[in-house]
Every structure is written in C-alpha cells, then in structure tokens.
Amino acid sequence: MDFKRFYSLNFLGRLFLSAIFINAIPSKILDFGGKTEYIAAQGFPEFLSAIFLVAAILVLVIGSFLLIFTKKIKLGSSLLLIFLIPTTVIFHLVNFDPIHLIMNISLIGGLLLAIDKSST
C-alpha cells in the first residue's frame, strides 16, 4: 500500500468530496420505505422507485469507495455523477430547491475536477 498517496492533498480532497455521498447512504438504507415513497411521489411507479433506490445505494457505495481508495478515480467519479445528475434534475430542478440545486452543481463541479485530475 502506498501510504504517501493516502496522506496527499489529493486524497484529502477526494475524501472530503465523497463525504456527502457517504453521509447519504445510511438514511437510504435505514428508511428504505420512506425514501421509496419519496421517489414514487415524483411520479415513478412504486416498484421502479425501489429499484432506483437500490441502484442509488450501490452507485453511492461503489463510487465513493473507488473515488477514495483506488486509482479508478475517473470510474468512481463517473458513477457518482450517474447518481447526482438525474437526482439534481428530478428532485432539485423540477421541484425548484435552490439550496440543494447549488450544492449539487458544486458537487458536480468537484467530480468533474476529480475526473480531469485523474486523466493527467
């Protein structure tokens, strides 16, 4: 294990960037029914809402892990973008929520920087 990599500013940036995604995971698992109902309230069928939520949990867990602990930063960031972009449009743009909309746009920017940085 390359410990020098874990003590870099790049690592800390990726850790801090992923903190919001990691923080979102427990509530999605512990209140699965409530979150499914919230998704269904946006116009999706109940069974599809459950599938979306399972997919969101998996994408958040795998994307965060890849972003923080592996060299597959581009893949991890891309997975988190796959979660974040539709979430932003469906929950914060359509039902205008300016605070969360700006926060998500900022996160999208951070993930795009992580993708760009991993390309060099």
The whole-model pTM stands at 0.89
Cα distances from 88 to residues 1, 8, 46, 107, in angstroms, run 36, 30, 20, 10
Q: Which residue has the higher pLDDT, 117 or 85?
A: 85
Is there a contact between 92 and 101 (Cβ–Cβ < 8 Å)? yes
User: For the chain, what percent of residues have pLDDT higher than 70?
Assistant: 93
Residue 105, classified by CB atoms within 10 Å of its CB into exposed (0-12), middle (13-18) or buried (19+), is middle
pLDDT band at 97 (very low <50, low <70, confident <90, very high): confident
Instruction: Write the pLDDT tens digit of every residue in 12-53.
Output: 999 999 999 999 999 999 999 999 999 999 999 999 999 999
> Residue 2: is its pLDDT beyond 90?
no
> Residue 1: is its pLDDT beyond 60?
no
Give the start-to-end residue ranges of the domains of the chain: 3-119
